[in-house]
Amino acid sequence: MMTQPAFPFALTVEPADGLIDEPRRIAISGLSPDQLVAISAHTLRAGGVTWMSQATFMADADGVIDLTRDAPVGGDYAEVSAMGLLWSQQPVDSTSNDLFADTVMQPLETTLTAETADGVRFEAELRQHFAGPGVERREIREEGLVGTLFTPAGAGPHPVVVVLNGSGGGINEPRAALLASRGYQAFALAYFKAPGLSPFITETPLEYLETGLRWAHRELAPRDGFVAVSGQSRGGELALLLGATFPDLVSAVIAFVPGAMVHGAQGAGDPARGGWKGTTWTRGGVPLPHLWQDNNAVHWHPWAGEAPPTRHHSVFFEGLKDTVLVERARIPVETIAGPVLLISGRDDRAWPSSLYSRMVVSTLREHGHPHLVRHLDFDDAGHAINLPIVPSTQLSRLHPVSRVPYTNGGTPSGNARGNDGSWAGMLAFLDEITGTAGAARPGFNP
The strand order across the sheet containing 25-29 reads 10-14, 25-29, 65-66
Q: In a 3-state reduction of DSSP, which class is residue 341?
A: strand
- DSSP secondary structure letters along 97-118: ---S-SSTTS-EEEEEEEEETT
Largest CA distance in the chain: 75
Nearest to 230 by CA among 183, 266, 188, 260: 188
Q: What SS3 class is residue 2?
A: coil
Answer whether 113's CB lies under 8 Å from 42's CB. yes
H/E run at residue 11:
strand 10-14
Q: What is the CA radius of gyration of the chain?
A: 23
Residue 160: closest CA among 254, 229, 242, 246: 229
Active site residues: 233, 348, 383
